[in-house]
Structure 1
Amino acid sequence: NRKWVYRFLQRHPGLKLGRPSGLDPKRAQAFNRPVVKDHFRQLENLIKSFNIPWSHVYNMDEKGIQRGGGRRLQNIKYFVPRGRRTSYKLRSASLELVTIIECVCADGSNIMPGFIFSGKEFMRDWFQNVDCNVTIAHSPNGWTDDFLCLEWFRKCFIPQATARRETDAPILLILDGHGSHVTSEMRHLAMDHNIHLFCLPPHTTHRLQPLDVGVFGPLQQAWTKRCNEYYVTSRGREMDRGELIREYL
């Protein structure tokens, strides 16, 4: 009798049924108390040593979205008449992956993101009326590489973070240790502009990366919702790349 499970849950309201997420063994081994304690000790010492205000502390990471909203749109349910056998809804067939480089500040604000589209070239006409602080690039697969990450850092992060500087204290950028994030060119550029690059411990971003932990989940839900609204109001018209940026922002 499986009813005992639900009776047990009624007696213990602090518990619920749930499915665990898969975890890579490397992440399981790397995320431990000594590593986490040492990470926050180094971060605290750095902030205190240079008297860095929270308005100078940033976190960057990459997020992939699909131009048509992705398969998550299929999970949205609606009320429909019981007697109707088949229900249809307009949605996009595009599964194009777009990489977004997001960067948030510890004070709750953010700088304008960077967008990386797949393909070998694109037309400037697509991106008319797009905020000039947005960085737009392309790569064969829509992913970042050393050059694109460096260009985002040079043309997007440095100008915006510098313009928001409140004191002479350094700017602190927290990021994972991906190869494209810590190139020698990027380190030299950071030193030239009084920016400290602080890498997260390897294989711990699922718990220590602020964007992964608290931002990208709600962001994905909001994007899926916005795509759903777009294809209803546009009567199924595909979202071009310029519209994607405007809708995302």
Structure 2
Amino acid sequence: MSLADMCRDGVSILHTPVPTGAVLLVMGLVRIRKSISGRRGKLRASSDPTYESRIQAAIQGIANGLYKSIAAAAKEQNVSHQTLSDRCLGVHKPRRLAQESRQLLSAAQEETVVDWCNLASTSATPIHPAKLRASDTIGEFFEMQKKLDDNYNKIPPEHHWNMDEKGNQMGGGRKNTGMKFIFSAEDSDCYRVHSDNLELVTIIECVSTAGAKMPPWFVLSEGPAPDIRDLKDKVGGVSFSPTGWTDHEIADYWFRNHFVPTAEKHCVDPEKPIVLTVDGHSSHEQRAIQRAAYDNGVIIHAFPSKTTHKIQPLDVGMFSSVQRPWTKHCDKCLADGVEIDRYNFIHEYMAIHHVITPELVQKAFKKTGIYPLNLSVFTDKDFAPSLVYQTTTHLPPSYPADIPSSPMAAPSDVDEVDKLMRLDDSEEEDSEDDTDFFPMADDEHDLDSESSDSESEEEEEDAQPSRNDTRITRSTSLVSGSIPHPVIPTYNQAMMLTKEELWYELQHMYEQNGALVQTTQILTAQLDATNAHCTMAQRALAQS
């Protein structure tokens, strides 16, 4: 008999007296022939890309009642019976999730990142891998600072400037000053006079890494101009806008007529450029300012979006140091009978402007890591998303529409108990009644059980798999979100069941346990996906 003949007869091949090596070779050919004929062998998940999909199809088929048992599902889908059984019971996880604890991102987080990458690509704004972490953005900013400093062979600190606007309210604002006052112990209500003037004045401050500060620039709302002739050398200038905020024209005028002349006075090396670091407001990046910067040898460097609270010196170390003295000064003026308005605001503000000292400025630059340059000034904790953060934005399609914040409500078991009591009465009347003591999943199964009584004995013998299908259907409702209370039979009811019926009930308990484990995994994945989406939403807004 040739090898080809033996391969065609896979049953009798083991009875053919051939050497051991030939047997191994022939068995290998048989497996190859079976694979070629369309009957695939049981491959491992690591070598078969469709293995996991077949496992999932088998689990879904068991839940839907397509297969009568785990063995039938394993045979039909050509997967390992033990693996399928363990997966149904929740003993093992898929290969993709088995090592999830060792991964940097969970499976839900990976899917979220992919969804955001797809969303960005469809909007013609693809995400660069370096942009996936905020720390990479900060690192890129510091690398640009270092590269700029190296290209010009150490730019002097007198040439590095930081500019930003601060809004001050004429009444001092509503923040608490932290001061303590004496009240009578008999007074249940304690009051203190505080100004309610919330009119806004914008102040443009600019400081250098050497500790120098430029005279502040003020932006008032449209109206009469205050008399500041006595502050000519202390104030940079005054502008007016409809809202009291800066606009493109004011920013351009400030840059050309105040910043450039003042910064040139502080230059110590004409061969080195002047560097101005600003936030990404549109008024700072307009073409007019870019043209003026190019003409005057000024390099403008913008902070990454949504990071100025950490790396902008004016925000980190100076504006907060000015706000509390300003609020105290406003309260003192009100106590002295002096009302702060647009005519005396600048004078009163300059009275506390001395709190911005060279030491404070240098400390702020050092804290942000800008000067001296410190690339490791921040840790991973500084880039963690805010735990209390809400926003509205566009989200990928996979974002869950409804995430339960509490355990899912179980359906009422009153109907199930009623059915069980009716079952007890029927068993007393007719001991041969083979009605399952477990309640059906819905009324549809009750109609099926009533119609089955009028059928032949052969059809009644085939009714046992149908009962197993009913239990599997209940497991499907469990996976989809409805967790029924288990109904425990009485001792007499259990004794009336045959061994086969007890085996089916035990099998049902295992399947229900597996469905509970699967439901828990689904809810856990939804929660992980929600947390991951919040993180990605914040980072997406940071890039906008």
TM range (shorter): 0.7 to 0.9
> Number of residues paired by the alignment?
217
How far, CA to CA, are the matches of 1:150 and 1:160 in structure 2? 15
Greater radius of gyration (CA): 2
The aligned counterpart of 1:104 is 207
Residue 339 of structure 2 aligns to a residue whose secondary structure is: coil
1:123 aligns with 2:196: no
Structure 2 residue 341 is the aligned partner of structure 1 residue 240: yes
SS of match in other structure, 1:203: coil
**Alpha-carbon distance, 1:48 to partner:** 2.3
Q: What letter matches 1:79 in structure 2?
A: I
**One-letter amino acid of the structure 2 residue matched with residue 103 of structure 1:** C
Q: Could you list the structure 1 runs, at least 4 aligned residues long, displaced by more than 6 angstroms after superposition.
A: none
Match of 1:195 among 295, 298, 314: 298
Rate the CA distance shift 1:222–1:74 in 2: closer, same or farther, 3 A.
closer
Residue 244 of structure 2: SS of its match in structure 1? coil
Contact 1:56 1:172 in 2 (8 A): yes
Q: Given the alignment, which residue of 153, 157, 165 partners 1:62?
A: 165
1:171 aligns with 2:256: no
**Distance in structure 2 (CA, Å) of the matches to 1:240 and 1:156:** 25
Shift of 1:164: 1.3
Taking a change above 3 Å as real, the CA distance of residues 226 and 74 of structure 1, as seen in their structure-2 partners, is closer
2:146 match: 44
Counterparts of 1:5-44 in structure 2 under 5 Å?
Answer: 32-44=134-146
Deviation at 1:242, TM superposition (A): 4.0
1:193-231 CA distances to partner (integer Å, 9 max, x unpaired)?
111101111222121212111211112112112212222
TM-score relative to the length of structure 2: 0.38
1:185 is matched with 288
2:246 aligned residue: 144
Give, in angstroms, the shift of residue 185 of structure 1: 0.9
The structure whose residues are more often strand, as a share, is 1
Aligned partner of 2:249: which letter? F
Asked whether the equivalents of residues 127 and 241 of structure 1 are also in contact (C-alpha less than 8 Å), the reply is no
Equivalent pair of 1:69/1:227 in contact (CA under 8 Å): yes
Distance 1:79 1:44 in 2: 53
Work out whether residues 56 and 171 of structure 1, in 8 Å CA contact, stay in contact via their aligned partners in 2.
Answer: yes
Q: Which has the higher helix share?
A: 2
Query: Cα distance 1:225–1:170, how it changes in 2: closer, same or farther (>3 A)?
Result: same
- Structure number with the bigger relative contact order (C-alpha 8 A, sep ≥ 6) is 1
The CA distance in 2 between the partners of 1:104 and 1:110, in whole Å, is 4
Match of 1:12 in 2: none
Which one-letter code corresponds to 1:145 in the other structure? Answer: D
AA aligned to 1:196 is I
Alpha-carbon distance in structure 2 between the residues aligned to 1:30 and 1:90: 50
Structure 1's unaligned 5+ residue stretches are 1-28
Which residue number in structure 2 is paired with residue 135 of structure 1? 237
CA distance in 2, matches of 1:230, 1:134: 24
Q: Does 1:205 align with 2:304?
A: no
State the Cα distance separating 1:130 from its structure 2 match: 2.3
Question: What does residue range 143-162 of structure 1 map to in structure 2 within 5 Å?
Answer: 143-162=245-264
Q: Is the 8 A contact 1:55 1:107 kept in 2?
A: yes
Once residues 30 and 59 of structure 1 are traced to their aligned partners in structure 2, the CA distance between those partners, rounded to angstroms, is 27
- The one-letter code sitting in structure 1 at the alignment partner of 2:136 is P
Q: Deviations over 1:10-38 (max 9, x none)?
A: xxxxxxxxxxxxxxxxxxx9872211111
User: Aligned pair in 2 of structure 1 residues 145, 34: CA closer, same or farther (>3 Å)?
Assistant: same
TM-score by length of 1: 0.79
The answer as to 2:319 corresponding to 1:216 is yes
Q: Report % sequence identity.
A: 35
Pair 73,130 (structure 1): closer, same or farther in 2 beyond 3 Å = farther
- Point out the more displaced range, 199-208 or 83-92: 83-92
RMSD: 2.1
Structure 1 residues 155 and 100, CA, compared in 2 at 3 Å: closer, same or farther?
Answer: same
Q: 1:79 aligns with which of 153, 162, 182?
A: 182
CA contact (8 A) 2:195 2:331 kept: no
